[in-house]
Each structure stands twice: as structure tokens, then as C-alpha cells.
Amino acid sequence: MVRCAPLDHHIYHLVVRLPQNSDWSFLAGQYCLVSTDDGMHCPLSIASSPETLPEISFFVRVAGAGSLADQLIRAAQDNGILGVSPPMGACTWPRFSSGDLWIIAGGTGIAPVLSLLASKDARPCRIFWGVRHDQELFAHDMLSDLADKVGAEYVPVVEQPSAQWVGEIGQPHQVALAHQPPKMTRFLLAGGPPMVHAVRTALVNFGIAPTNIHSDLIDLGQIPSTGL
């Protein structure tokens, strides 16, 4: 069973309810492939915590008509049935059990961050969430509440703010680096390939060791783990 609701003109909140007898489980911070009955599948980070099972939720950004995400949302709205693969990804709390953790996320890349903060294993960290316009901070209240509960610091960053915006302006990694992170800080990057590549390059240039920069895209080899 599927529920699908728009959060703004291009972001959807997708909730999939698994069968009650399902033994499907995951760790906060993981992702999976969400598929339609015609075999199309889309990788999506899980936005909910393991404690909400048998329901799992995702944020889907639809870039345009006919895109993979658009087809997925249309399938969810038309027949309400989607499949999910076994969970994947190692950017989970066990990986960050020690040391300072700073998280830099862009757009719907905030999904795994919400999952991490909502889980029973959540711990303090620093979060920089970047969007283009302040109207796109669709999870702002939820993220603020979760950060307060676990003692995390949350900094929203807007690239092209409205006249009413009173927070940080620019890109999230620029704001993070302006806070002068210690060189041994560990970073988790959550977003699309161009964003992760650009942020990783900026962090390495700042002096952060490549081994302290983590992302599922780096693990998959889509972003180089060494060099620039």
C-alpha cells in the first residue's frame, strides 16, 4: 500500500507500507530501490527511522514530466503498489560511532539525515542543509525538532533567498567551512553526484582527509574516493 502527497510543486512525500508479516528491515541512513510493477526502479534514501516499520517513507524530487521520478510518482498515484529492494548503503550510525560528525546535505538529500536523527541510535552532530530557495525547506520543522531532541546543531542554508530570509546564505559546504571544522572532523555528504563531487573537492582543498569524507556515491565508485 502506498501514500503519496506533494510537499511543494516538485517534491513528494512517498510512504510505502509493507505487509505486516514482512521481515524487511534496515539501518537508519540506508537507501533502497523502489520499483513499479513494470520493472522500472529508482534509488531512494529512506527518510523514516527503523522504528516506524512496517511503514517506510521517502522524498522524491520530480525534475520534469517523463523523468524517472515522475514515472514513479505516477505509478504510485495510479495503482498504489510499489516494490522495495533489500536496503543498501553503509552511511549508518555504526560507521560514525566515534569522533565529530558534520553532515552536508542538499535538497532531498536530507532524507537519510532525518532517518539518522529519528533513530534510537541518534547522537549529536552538526547538519548543514542547503536548498536554492527558502520555500524549498520542506522538512525544516521536522529537522529542527529532531535536532533539538538529540542535541544536534542544524543550520539551514539558502542559495537564492527571499527578502524575508534571515538565515545563512550561500551553499551549505561554504557555510560549514566558514565554521572552521577541525581537520579530523568526519563528514557525511548527502545529495546528487554533482553536489557530492563539488563538496568533496572543497573539503579536500580545505585539508580534510579523503578517508574522513563519506557518501554512498563514494562507496559505489560514482565519486572518486581519492584525488580531485
% of residues, the chain, pLDDT over 90: 75
Task: Check residue 22 and give its pLDDT.
Answer: 87
Gap between the Cα atoms of 105 and 101, Å rounded: 13
Gap between the Cα atoms of 13 and 102, Å rounded: 25
Among residues 194, 178, 176, the alpha carbon closest in space to that of 186 is found at: 176
Whether 110 shows a pLDDT value over 80: the answer reads yes
Residue 219 burial class via C-beta count within 10 angstroms: exposed 0-12, middle 13-18, buried 19 and up: middle
Residue 220 identity: L
- CATH fold of 2-84 reads Elongation Factor Tu (Ef-tu); domain 3 (2.40.30)
**Helix, strand, or coil (residue 131):** strand
Comparing 33-47, 48-62, 155-169, 196-210, the range with the smallest average pLDDT is 33-47
Is the whole-model pTM more than 0.85?
yes
What are 29-87's pLDDT values in tens digits? Answer: 999 999 988 888 899 999 999 999 999 999 999 987 878 888 888 888 887 778 899 99
Whether 155 shows a pLDDT value over 80: the answer reads yes
Gap between the Cα atoms of 94 and 186, Å rounded: 13
Do 173 and 109 touch, CB atoms closer than 8 A? no
Predicted confidence band of residue 172 (pLDDT cuts 50, 70, 90): very high
- Enumerate the domain spans of the chain: 2-84, 93-219
| Burial readout 38-56 (b: 16 or more C-beta within 10 A, e: otherwise) | eeebbebbbbbbbeeeeeb
Q: What is the mean pLDDT of residues 205-209?
A: 96
Gap between the Cα atoms of 188 and 214, Å rounded: 5
Gap between the Cα atoms of 8 and 120, Å rounded: 29
Mean pLDDT value across the chain? 92
- CATH fold of 93-219 reads Rossmann fold (3.40.50)
